[in-house]
């Protein structure tokens, strides 16, 4: 990784590490995000309970997520825990690192276009942006989602313009998808027209919605939105409108969420 944070991590912070040395009483790791910083995981912090073979939990060169439990800047000591990191925390931290690596690949691509050393270019971009963001990928997402200006955040004007152009090529807007199975029965002679009208109204409410006929009076509807709150709101409005058109004395309509 190109990312190198200054100073020492904070207690309770989650850090991404590489196992470098395993001893019977402790594990030594390199903190990937911090410049030349090593940490120690006491054997009691590797796993709860008795450990018969420490290599059942860690091996050399393995990437792991640890929690910082003590920091002594004067002595340069960083004590870590592996057992105090739950699965949700581990996954969240790992996902953040993967996203940051994607952001770094964009900078590497830009360095190739500009024929400029990647370390120098990264410094010119990261130094101003890290004053506002914990991760570069969060700034890059805001370029796409909120149309923020990297120049206003401190990146040199010409460099900001070229970086924003590449970001928009590589980073797609975030999307949330909700899949619904719809079953419809109609009692009207014009039942097909009612169903057609119901889906037309659904498309008016959520233009990005896709609909597929599954057979036997069932349909698959995919609602796409920028976030879950908006997606849920669109779903509620769609259900209410379609029920108004098809339900009641005219027929029966049910909605079943899929993939949950």
pLDDT in tens, 129-158: 999 999 999 999 999 988 999 999 999 999
The two three-digit tokens of residue 103, written as one number: 């952001």
Laid out side by side, the sheet with 251-257 consists of 210-215, 218-225, 176-186, 251-257
pLDDT in tens, 187-207: 888 888 999 999 999 999 998
Global confidence as pTM:
0.70
Distance set, CA 177 to CA 184, 208, 232, 234 (Å): 22, 10, 10, 11
Confidence label for 12 from pLDDT (cuts 50, 70 and 90): very high
pLDDT in tens, 50-99: 888 899 999 999 999 999 999 999 999 999 999 999 999 999 999 999 99
CATH superfamily of 89-170: Translation initiation factor 2; subunit 1; domain 2 (1.10.150.190)
Residue-level pLDDT at 82: 97
Residue-level pLDDT at 250: 82
Residue-level pLDDT at 37: 97
Is 176-257 a domain of CATH 3.20.20.70?
Answer: no
pLDDT in tens, 19-31: 999 998 999 999 9
CATH 2.40.50.140 maps onto the chain at 14-84
Domain spanning 14-84, CATH class: mainly beta
CATH 3.30.70.1130 maps onto the chain at 176-257
Higher pLDDT, 250 or 76: 76
Looking at the predicted structure, is the pLDDT value of residue 232 above 70? yes
CATH 1.10.150.190 maps onto the chain at 89-170
CA dist., res. 161 & res. 164, Å (int)? 5
- Tell me whether residue 32 is exposed, middle or buried, using C-beta atoms within 10 angstroms of its C-beta: 0 to 12, 13 to 18, 19 or more: middle
């Amino acid at each position: 990784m190109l990312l190198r944070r200054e100073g020492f991590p904070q207690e309770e912070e989650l850090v991404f590490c590489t196992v470098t040395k395993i001893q019977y009483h402790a594990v030594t790791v390199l903190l990937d995000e911090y410049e030349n910083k090593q940490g120690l995981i006491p054997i009691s912090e590797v796993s709860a309970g008795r450990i018969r073979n420490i290599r059942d939990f860690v091996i050399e060169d393995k990437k792991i997520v640890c929690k910082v439990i003590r920091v002594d800047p004067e002595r340069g000591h960083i004590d870590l825990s592996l057992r105090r990191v739950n699965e949700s925390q581990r996954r969240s931290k790992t996902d953040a690192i993967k996203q940051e690596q994607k952001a770094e690949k964009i900078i590497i691509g830009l360095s190739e276009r500009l024929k400029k050393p990647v370390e120098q270019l990264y410094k010119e971009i990261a130094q101003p942006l890290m004053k506002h963001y914990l991760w570069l990928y969060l700034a890059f997402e805001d370029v796409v989602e909120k149309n923020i200006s990297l120049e206003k955040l401190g990146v040199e004007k010409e460099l900001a313009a070229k970086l924003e152009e590449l970001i928009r090529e590589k980073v797609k807007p975030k999307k949330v998808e909700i899949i619904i199975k719809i079953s419809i029965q109609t009692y009207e002679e014009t039942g097909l027209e009612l169903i057609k009208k119901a889906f037309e109204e659904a498309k008016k409410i959520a233009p990005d919605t896709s609909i597929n006929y599954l057979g036997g009076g069932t349909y698959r509807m995919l609602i796409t939105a920028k976030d879950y709150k908006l997606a849920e709101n669109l779903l509620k409005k769609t259900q209410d409108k379609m029920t108004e058109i098809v339900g009641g004395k005219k027929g029966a309509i049910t909605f079943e969420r899929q993939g949950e």
